[in-house]
Structure 1
């Protein structure tokens, strides 16, 4: 089921979403890469950081969303391409491939890793990060609501994200001939404002669900979802605390 991404909604919490990207890319040891690719680059705001780090590299932002790719084309120093990362092929072997918060949207993405590593030049780097919080209330509440009438009939086949633990990615990437560093981190985001967890998930994990519903049901679903999220994530003096587990792997293809 198709859905459309909204760069502005996604960027509401741009600083918080940038933290895992920075932690991921800090462990990439490439010194002078010629070709750098950001797969699932979204609006390109984080891809810009890759261009700043490697100013002499050709930096490509790839995304399957027309809205996101259009936004990325406005970022100086990078090239943006509209493409599906499942079938994308680079014009030349890449020295660095980053897949930050994108592979969770690809069913069976463990099988895709062989293809992505195969796009690397010898000695090239592959860095990935996926959310690992799918059992948290922010997702569990959405799934529970979506399973009941009158919503369920509209949500069959809707895109939902999923991921694996760090050890699984480590073993798969090792099996592909890579040296691998894998780990996980849980970020405690302190979010201000009214219904901030709903604002967060409506730009990412819950967006396909919300878009799949007819307008009248979308509003009803949102009201119920907001109320349950407020119970699960109560407001504190400095805002709402959103724990967010993320899973990382950085792999270097052996020469």
Structure 2
């Protein structure tokens, strides 16, 4: 996703699809654009949600951009007939700029991978025409056990020589009030909120399965297959203690931050 050079597995990413998709609809539901000309989805992943934008605005040209060639390849091979005027390209978020007819920009769960994305957002707001929309969702759970345990293990004596600097820390995203100010300073009418989803996950080690599709990717890519398996074994034991299975499954709280601005 986004602009990094991680190797992404589209099938793994869409696991737990209902939980991963819901924030997208909560985010885009706050966009009140009537007849946008061009809609851009930055960090589109496998493209299934980008297609929903094309269905919502059938008169718009809808573009999905992602740095992962595997994700874009998956997006170009949809399960169903794609809407017209929908396209996907491999592109780096950091080098993208809105055009004069860009009326809606969406980025769902991608900008947390882009250091300095706040400056990019400010630049997009400056370039967007009055009336255009910018809608962004990023995870806000970097202080949750799933992430602090991962970072702690990566920094332990056993792993720090191989994983030092691989994982980003508390600066991955801002707090809601900081994004709110960013939108206001960019001349936008701002709508900013956060939601913690209480997700009931099935399976034997469901939180490990969840992070395999996202946050654990840098670790798995940095290690040999044997080392990756060893790290997962240690990490899984920590996760099972932090997120014990209950009678109905494993509850995994997930905080997400939402920001929607319309340029004035």
* TM-score for both structures, normalised by structure 2: 0.92
Shift of 1:126: 0.3
Are 1:163 and 2:166 an aligned pair?
no
Shift of 1:89: 3.0
CA distance in 1, matches of 2:121, 2:222: 29
CA distance in 1, matches of 2:168, 2:211: 12
Q: How many correspondences in the alignment?
A: 254
Alignment partner of 1:86: what SS? Answer: helix
Counterpart in the other structure of 1:79: 87
Correspondence 1:179-194 to 2 at 5 A: 179-194=189-204
Are 1:178 and 2:177 an aligned pair?
no
Once superposed, what is the RMSD of the aligned Cα atoms? Answer: 1.4
- Structure 1: gaps of 5 or more residues: none
CA distance in 2, matches of 1:160, 1:203: 16
Deviates more, 1:83-92 or 1:178-187: 83-92
CA distance in 1, matches of 2:167, 2:77: 28
Equivalent residues of 1:63, 1:83 under 8 A apart? yes
Alignment partner of 1:71: what SS? Answer: helix
Counterpart in the other structure of 1:109: 117
Counterpart in the other structure of 1:245: 255
Are 1:89 and 2:97 an aligned pair?
yes
Shift of 1:152: 1.4
Shift of 1:217: 1.2
Are 1:138 and 2:146 an aligned pair?
yes
- Structure 2: gaps of 5 or more residues: none
For 1:48, which of 36, 51, 60 is the aligned residue? 51
Equivalent residues of 1:177, 1:253 under 8 A apart? yes
Please list the CA deviations of residues 140-159 of structure 1 after superposition, one character each: whole Å capped at 9, or x if unmatched: 11000000233212223325
Alignment partner of 1:168: what SS? Answer: helix
- Relative distance call for 1:45 and 1:236 in structure 2 (3 A) is same
Counterpart in the other structure of 1:13: 16
Equivalent residues of 2:125, 2:187 under 8 A apart? no
- Relative distance call for 1:179 and 1:91 in structure 2 (3 A) is closer
Equivalent residues of 2:106, 2:134 under 8 A apart? yes
CA distance in 2, matches of 1:125, 1:154: 42
Counterpart in the other structure of 1:33: 36
CA distance in 2, matches of 1:121, 1:37: 14
Counterpart in the other structure of 2:131: 123
* TM-score for both structures, normalised by structure 1: 0.96
